Amino acid sequence: MATEPVVPPEAALIKERRKDRLPPMGVPAAAAAATSAGVKMSPEGWRSIETGRHNGPPGKLAIMAQVVGITPDELAEIGRRFGRENAAEAARLLEAHLRRRVASEPALAAIDTDSVPEQVLQLILEGIDDIRTAKGLTDAQKSSLEQSLIHVTMQSVSAQIVQIRTTLKILGEKARQG
């Protein structure tokens, strides 16, 4: 009797995030997105890594993580907590890939990307990819949506920072008053 393979934590996280996307992403779509991102992958190959039948090499894990929105920090944490060297190396590869992609992305030229957390940059890149692959939009409409995405994201982050600073100032004043 064959035993089920043990699913590595990085593969379990990839599967969880793929299914939790809105709308959920099927294996064929995920494999196609990985192939578009530069790693040739079939749906069967994706499934074999997700189910633990095969350990994903770091390069594939990095792209799979990117496709489903896992950050380099999350992969690095799996590497540290579970001694998963493939996950740790995938984290390094994903971080380098994101930095290269950000540096080459004209839509991000207007912001100081060195001061933006990687997770925010990754979300922006996901949004840009979604916009660029959308059917039925003109290039001008796609460009307008990209600019809007970046503008609204940066406004939101800036507003959150102002709110945090205001809260800290109020708390500091209350602490001084005793």
pLDDT single digits (tens) 138-153: 999 999 999 999 889 8
The angle at the Cα of 16, spanning 12 to 21, to the nearest 5 degrees, equals 150
Q: CB-based burial of residue 163 (10 Å sphere; 0-12 exposed, 13-18 middle, 19+ buried)?
A: exposed
Which pTM does this prediction carry? 0.77
Residue pLDDT, tens place only, 101-126: 899 998 888 788 888 888 888 889 98
